[in-house]
Amino acid sequence: MPQTSTIHYEAASTLAVVVSSNEPLLLLSEDQKVVAASASFCRAFDIDPSTVTGRGLGEIGDGEWDMPRLASLLRATASGSARIEAYEIDLLRPSRKTRNLVVNARTLDDGDIDRIRLLLAVTDVTDARAETRLKDDLIRDKAILLQEVQHRVANSLQIIASVLMQSARRVQSDEARGHLHNAHHRVMSIAALQRQLSTSSGGRVELRAYFTQLCQSLGASMISDPDRLSIAVQVDDSVVEPDFSVSLGLIVTELVINALKHAFPDDRMGTIVIGYRSSGDDWTLSITDDGIGMPAGTDAPKAGLGTGIVEALARNLQGEIRLSDAGPGTAVTISHRQGAGLPTDVSKAA
């Protein structure tokens, strides 16, 4: 069949649709001659539009479209034995950067079964691929950086912990040693949170896992006989913001240290229970021991730094501290009720 005659069969509207396509598009005859090329194709691949029509696909431009793989796929498509869907191919041009292409080809179904037309759509994905690669690299870099930061934080906390413990082993006074140990516990409390954050996603903290780790750490350093004293964690499924968990963790640390020091004298056996439950914006934290109970009156110990820390943090969280007799033992409850005691509560002020 002479080529020139096939070209003249095309409906003007078909050619117009192809030429005006936004997506780079070629309309090919069965023997892979260009019937029409979209302006976008010529622009994207730097081909003079006036030189395209009637030429073989392998001849347009500088012959860079002469790709045996593509030609054989187009042959298979024309014979109806295959369809090219999102086939990836590289366009190689001398002294120019290789472009990554995604091609789709199908026969044009226009009701004329004797005359086969191929529609070849070519998308240049080089820039999109480069962007994806860049994004992947950035995500990977960020993960590595985050790991590095976490590693550094852990190492820094280890340095502080090491120095505090070395001091504690050297000082002569029991009181000074006690203070150094307390400082060490506070550092370890922050470290437990740090560890929890490094394993959590989205920077939120699962309180039960955090408190469990915290109490393991406190128990390991303060309880010499685990058969005598234990710490239990009874926490619901609350997941909270890191800032909030730091405050809760420090409160738990102070109150557990306090209970371990004062509630179980003379090798008394016992358990400390950390409780936390929340409902909506309301929450309750409790530290309960079954020890000897709080001494009252003149026997009451002078409020130390620990008490100050607990009071300040509870106030900051708009929580109310309640001390009660757990019979036996002591329960410290810090609870927050939405709206209670807030400055916005103007009914009482009026």
Partner 1 sequence: MKKDKAVVLVVEDNTIIRMGAVDLVLAAGYEALEACDADEAIRILEARSDIDLVFTDVQMPGTMDGIKLSHYIRNRWPPVKLIVASGAAILEESSLPSGSRFFPKPYDEHAITDAMARLLASETPAGTAG
Q: Which residues lie near partner 1 (CB under 8 A)?
A: 147, 150-155, 157-163, 165-166, 169, 187-188, 191, 195, 198-199, 217, 220-221
DSSP 90-120: EE--TTS--EEEEEEEEE--SS-SSS-EEEE
Helix 174-199 / helix 207-222 crossing angle, nearest 10 deg: 150
In Å, how far are 42, 259, 311, 329 from 295, measured between CA atoms?
91, 12, 19, 11
> At closest approach, how far in Å is the CB of 346 from partner 1?
47
Nearer to partner 1, 165 or 292 (CB): 165
Reduced to 3 states (helix: H, G, I; strand: E, B; else coil), residue 277 is strand
> At closest approach, how far in Å is the CB of 217 from partner 1?
6
SS3 string, 299-336, reads HCCCCCHHHHHHHHHHHHCCCEEEEEECCCCEEEEEEE
Nearer to partner 1, 32 or 189 (CB): 189
Nearer to partner 1, 122 or 260 (CB): 260
> At closest approach, how far in Å is the CB of 169 from partner 1?
5
The sign one gets for the Cα dihedral 60, 65, 71, 77 is negative
> At closest approach, how far in Å is the CB of 308 from partner 1?
25
Nearer to partner 1, 160 or 317 (CB): 160
- For residue 62, how far is the Cα from the chain centroid? 48
Considering only CA atoms, which of 340, 302, 348 is closest in space to residue 322?
A: 340
Nearer to partner 1, 89 or 222 (CB): 222
DSSP 131-150: HHHHHHHHHHHHHHHHHHHH
Nearer to partner 1, 125 or 168 (CB): 168
> At closest approach, how far in Å is the CB of 232 from partner 1?
19
> At closest approach, how far in Å is the CB of 252 from partner 1?
16
